[in-house]
Amino acid sequence: MVRSYFRHGPTEAFGLVCSASSNSVFDGKLAYVPALEDVLVWNVKRGSMAAMWHESGHRAEVTCILRSPKPDTFAVGYSDGSIRVWSASSTSVISTFNGHKKAITALAFDQDGSRLASGSQDTDLIVWDVVAEAGLFRLRGHRDQITAVKFLDTFTNVPSTSSASGSAFIVTASKDSFLKVWDLSTQHCVQTTLAHRAEVWSLDINPEKNLIFTGSSEGEMKVWRIDSEALSEGLKESESGEITKMIRPVTTIPLSSKHRVSQLLFHPRLQYLAVQSHDRSVEIFRIRSEEEIRKKQARRKKRAREKKKEKGQKEPDTGDEGSEEEREIDLVELFTPYLIVRSGGKIRSFDFGGEMATDTKGNAQIFLALASNALEVHNIPPPTRSKENPPEAAKLYSLDLPGHRTDIRTLSLSSDDMLLASASNGSLKIWNIKTTTCIRTLDCGHAICSTFLPNDRQIAIGTKNGEILIYDLASASLVDTVKAHTGTLWSMHIRPDERGLVTGGADKDIKFWDIEEKRVSGDDPRSTAISSLVHTRTLKMTDDVLSVRYSPNGKLLAVSLLDSTVKVFYQDSLKFFLSLYGHKLPVLSMDISHDSKLIVTCSADKNVKIWGLDFGDCHKSIFAHDESVMQVAFEKESHYFWTVSKDKVLKYWDGDKVGVFFLLIGPRPINVETRSVDPGLRALRFIPQFEKIQTLEGHHGEVWALAVSNRGNFVVTGSHDKSIRVWEKLDDPLFLEEERERDLERLYDANLAETMNRDVDRIGIGRDVDGADPSGAQEQVEVAQVTKQTTETLMAGEKIMEALDVADADIALLAEFQAAKSGLNEAQISALPAPARNPLLAMQGLEAEAHVLQVVEKVPSTALQDALLVLPFNNVLSLMRYLNEWARRGWNIVLVSRILFFILRTHHHQIVTNRVMRTTLIPLRKHLRDALQKQKETMGYNLAALQYIQRQNESRRTARFYEEESFDEERVKARIAEGKKRKRVVL
């Protein structure tokens, strides 16, 4: 009999305000911040979440967020090398780009948002066509992670009718200390500059588009001038034979701190430059105008003259009174330190809010995303002439209540599973488990363990300094502080009769407490009852106590010690009962089953052991996790248990899976499963086989805490990534054999994709067929195609191959039928049975050509090219015959053209050398030209009609203006142009 279980799945993830994995974007009202694998949209003023961008099944962490020039569109980069373009209004993915092998570190849109450039830890730069949803090309040249990417705007003097690109160059910065300029028209690097002596971490271009600012890990900020004339002319040699430089170094601007310059950012409207070169502050520079500097220099010179007159000194006549005005102003003088914005924690990124974050008085806002799971918005006041009151940044809004500042170390659930308590170093939070809203936030010490007291009105917290803090939930106040231990209080557990509590600490003591209730208002029975702890007895141990646990029947007390052993005592007399040896490192947590028959222990040695409480024998030792196992807990009313570990994984185990039964039949027992005879067996035996049921991945940091619901329908985990996740039992049955097969298939697909993506031609490295370095190093090409095989592209390629095979077989069957009819009369033809078509085609009622087109159209546009690379060459030849038929019938000409051009570019040599291809290519060329000509004529007709409607509308508006008021023609045209800017005209 096959045993089935119920599958568990993630249902909620909360407790996160902002993770430190990526930068954040602020538009003056809404903040778009990373939350591990999701993007959260916060209304910072209200302190409420406006939206969550979540894609089910995708677990990679967000590493970069960028807003497009089209306000509703955002590009989000992830740690698995993928980029998703999101629509903010619909909170859905528009397109997905897969090309990088490592995490995305930098993104940049061009002026109109039609192209996207991405830099990654794999040192590659990829340019994507957002409209066509395809990768244009991959540029290689950097030798370390790309940290910043910016488009350079050129051809500012080109007339509007020109077809020249407005952004033909990209500048990139990298940890290899180089600054590179790439020409997108020729797809190669036109300039490489050693920017700093250390890693280049940040880059930005000023609003005038003529200066580049770079920051290094040594706290140095340099300025580079963009030569727009050299950019417009392209790469040329001067008369002396030197190559023209696109960017030239200008100067270095001193900073107040010598830490790493993590981010540089210009304000989009005001004259501010923000520099983050310290963990907890952002330095704001004000950009002064030349006129302001000249006036200041004149005032300084005037004061110097007045001082000399007061001293009676005669000023020498130099005859160069205008020299101060004629002197060229240094670039450093334009940037003056204005103020420093200080935050309450380590700053991960910052952003100016754009036009919406600037009021009429000149106040600007700066948004700070902190690494401590919090957000802040500060106000930057406008400059004043008063020297007595220097400007200071003021905090406007702060968002930190919906999450912890530090790691979540302990979780506990109320008896009705309605409330969840989470505690960390500094704060205790009470959550409504259904709505996942934080209903109480209380200050506490460094929390280590916690538990709800009986009746769920109070909660007890054990701290690092050995105190027990008791909080009343109704009044949200600390009602009692008990100095329980002189060392860290590692564990506490409520007695099964709910009248007592046991605690264990680093002072080698186990202390027992009685829970007593006392009224706040004395003898008034209507007043609130508060639980208090009364110390009754102490059990001295030989080593630090790491965990204590009562058995559910109240008879035994289990204690784990720092010496890697577990001692079991009788609860009433505290007499020694059992000692459990076997772990190589200390037992960090343990739990006892509901029937008090099994005890499960987890240790820092990565093992989980299941023991019998009757004789202390070890039933099973399991290598459970890749790191230390932090906590273990039995599911209620069962022998299933959960474990969490530092390897970021939650696992579900069966503690008593049915094994092999041996029945004694006569003198020779028979194995029921294998039907084999076991002559050595003389009794009924049961051999338990403990197995893992399910592995649940989702956390991005060490999982410290675990809490299992009292009804057994969900489990809650808390992690180093500051998130709390709920894993709920679903109605979907789970079979172990199917789960193992699915895991193997997933592993095989991942290994296959990794093998196909293996890059053997890195810069300066060449490899032969066997993977060994040849004697001569081979230089890698600078530009390459954008390809990356994933499980999705492999499946899409297999679907196309399957559709081609089905269609080819159907066409061959129909051809045989037609050939059989050729020499027969009508009576014989009518008697001839119809061919048995493929059931799939017969059910859909489609022709073979239409079926292949339907399958190809379902492949996502971004994965189409990678899916076509999976096809063998014989399938490519078959596909080209279908392309010819689609072009002849005028089906989806855009898709036909795209597939054809990619196939010709990829398989050019094989197609050219194959004579059979002439019979396919010649008609394909004719049919495709005819179809494209029809498309061109249709587009021309539509364009002419739209232009006609526009002229008609303009003439009507002009006539209406002439009729309403007596304007001359020039004023009417100006009025019409002004109206176009103000509002849209619905045609």
DSSP letters for 485-517: -SS-EEEEEE-TTSSEEEEEETTSEEEEEEEEE
Averaged over 249-263, what is the pLDDT? Answer: 90
Q: What are the distances in angstroms from CA 953 to CA 946, 950, 960, 975, 987?
A: 11, 5, 11, 15, 8
Of 365 and 832, the one with more pLDDT: 365
Cβ count near 513 (within 10 Å): 22
Quote the pLDDT of residue 700: 93
Phi, psi at 904, each rounded to 5° = -65, -35
Do 284 and 340 form a contact (C-beta atoms < 8 A)?
Answer: yes
Phi, psi at 316, each rounded to 5° = -65, 140
Question: Which runs of consecutive H residues, i.e. helices, occur in 402-532?
Answer: none
Buried b (16+ CB within 10 A) or exposed e, 662-701: beeeeeebbeeeeeeeeeeeeeeeeebebeebbebebbbb
Count how many Cα atoms sit within 13 Å of the Cα of residue 977 in the half-sphere of its side chain: 6
Asked if the model's pLDDT at residue 223 lies above 60, the reply is yes
pLDDT in tens, 799-837: 999 999 999 998 888 888 888 777 777 777 777 777 788
Of 690 and 54, the one with more pLDDT: 54
Over its C-alpha atoms, the chain yields an Rg (Å, rounded) of 37
How far, in Å, CA of 537 to CA of 630, rounded? 29
How far, in Å, CA of 501 to CA of 514, rounded? 6
Handedness of CA 176, 182, 188, 190 (dihedral sign): negative
Percent of the chain with pLDDT strictly greater than 70: 87
Averaged over 922-950, what is the pLDDT? Answer: 92
Averaged over 962-967, what is the pLDDT? Answer: 62
Q: Which amino acid is at 22?
A: S
Q: Which helix (H) or strand (E) holds 895?
A: helix 893-906
3-state helix, strand, coil in the chain (%, to 5): 25, 40, 40
With H, G, I as helix, E, B as strand and everything else as coil, classify residue 961. helix
Count how many Cα atoms sit within 13 Å of the Cα of residue 56 in the half-sphere of its side chain: 4
With H, G, I as helix, E, B as strand and everything else as coil, classify residue 914. coil
Asked if the model's pLDDT at residue 96 lies above 80, the reply is yes
Strands (E), 145-280: 146-152, 169-174, 178-183, 188-194, 200-205, 211-216, 221-226, 247-253, 263-266, 272-278
Quote the pLDDT of residue 177: 93
Asked if the model's pLDDT at residue 680 lies above 90, the reply is no
How far, in Å, CA of 707 to CA of 700, rounded? 18
How far, in Å, CA of 228 to CA of 255, rounded? 28
Q: What secondary structure letter does DSSP report for 742?
A: H
Pairing of strands 545-550, 529-540: unpaired
Quote the pLDDT of residue 432: 94
Handedness of CA 59, 65, 66, 68 (dihedral sign): positive
Strands (E), 698-794: 703-708, 714-719, 724-735, 783-784
Quote the pLDDT of residue 305: 78
Q: Which amino acid is at 846?
A: L
pLDDT in tens, 616-658: 999 999 999 999 999 999 998 899 999 999 999 999 999 875 5
Range in 152-166, 232-246, 319-333 with the lowest mean pLDDT: 152-166
Of 933 and 293, the one with more pLDDT: 933
pLDDT in tens, 172-219: 999 999 999 999 988 889 999 999 999 999 999 998 888 999 999 999
pLDDT in tens, 39-78: 999 999 998 999 999 998 899 999 999 999 988 999 999 9
How far, in Å, CA of 306 to CA of 957, rounded? 66
With H, G, I as helix, E, B as strand and everything else as coil, classify residue 291. helix
Q: What secondary structure letter does DSSP report for 985?
A: -
With 0-12 CB in 10 A as exposed, 13-18 as middle and 19+ as buried, what is 21?
A: buried
What's the whole-number average pLDDT of the chain? 85
478: confidence class by pLDDT, cuts 50, 70, 90: very high
* Dmax (CA) of the chain: 132
How far, in Å, CA of 868 to CA of 857, rounded? 13
Range in 332-346, 434-448, 517-531 with the lowest mean pLDDT: 517-531
Quote the pLDDT of residue 819: 82
Quote the pLDDT of residue 689: 64
How far, in Å, CA of 297 to CA of 153, rounded? 34
Do 917 and 890 form a contact (C-beta atoms < 8 A)?
Answer: no
Averaged over 566-584, what is the pLDDT? Answer: 94
Do 520 and 536 form a contact (C-beta atoms < 8 A)?
Answer: no
pTM of the model: 0.85
Q: Which one, of 488, 503, 618, lies nearest residue 565 by Cα?
A: 618
Asked if the model's pLDDT at residue 675 lies above 80, the reply is no
What contacts 741, CB < 8 A, 6 or more positions away? none
Pairing of strands 703-708, 660-663: unpaired
Quote the pLDDT of residue 314: 58
Quote the pLDDT of residue 669: 47
Quote the pLDDT of residue 666: 47
Percent of the chain with pLDDT strictly greater than 90: 54
Quote the pLDDT of residue 949: 94
With H, G, I as helix, E, B as strand and everything else as coil, classify residue 36. coil
Quote the pLDDT of residue 423: 96
Do 422 and 407 form a contact (C-beta atoms < 8 A)?
Answer: no
What residue has token string 């008697």? 831
Count how many Cα atoms sit within 13 Å of the Cα of residue 540 in the half-sphere of its side chain: 0
Do 264 and 200 form a contact (C-beta atoms < 8 A)?
Answer: no
With H, G, I as helix, E, B as strand and everything else as coil, classify residue 566. strand
Range in 89-93, 106-110, 840-844, 978-982 with the lowest mean pLDDT: 978-982
Quote the pLDDT of residue 983: 45
Asked if the model's pLDDT at residue 109 lies above 50, the reply is yes
Averaged over 590-598, what is the pLDDT? Answer: 94
Of 870 and 527, the one with more pLDDT: 870
Averaged over 30-35, what is the pLDDT? Answer: 95
How far, in Å, CA of 431 to CA of 150, rounded? 43
Asked if the model's pLDDT at residue 88 lies above 90, the reply is yes
Do 795 and 866 form a contact (C-beta atoms < 8 A)?
Answer: no
What contacts 757, CB < 8 A, 6 or more positions away? 101, 788, 789
Q: Which one, of 94, 147, 110, lies nearest residue 125 by Cα?
A: 147
771: confidence class by pLDDT, cuts 50, 70, 90: very low
Identify any residues that bridge with 408 across adjacent strands, giving them in sequence order.
424
Do 125 and 143 form a contact (C-beta atoms < 8 A)?
Answer: no
Quote the pLDDT of residue 563: 94
Phi, psi at 394, each rounded to 5° = -115, 140
Handedness of CA 198, 199, 204, 209 (dihedral sign): positive
How far, in Å, CA of 452 to CA of 460, rounded? 6
Do 507 and 528 form a contact (C-beta atoms < 8 A)?
Answer: no
Do 172 and 149 form a contact (C-beta atoms < 8 A)?
Answer: yes
966: confidence class by pLDDT, cuts 50, 70, 90: low
> How far, in whole angstroms, is CA 127 from its chain's centroid?
21
575: confidence class by pLDDT, cuts 50, 70, 90: very high
Pairing of strands 489-494, 649-654: unpaired
Q: Which one, of 703, 694, 774, lies nearest residue 742 by Cα?
A: 694
Quote the pLDDT of residue 246: 87
Quote the pLDDT of residue 784: 86
In order, the DSSP letters of 185-216 are: TTTEEEEEEE--SS-EEEEEE-TTSSEEEEEE
Q: Which helix (H) or strand (E) holds 816?
A: helix 791-821
Quote the pLDDT of residue 153: 75
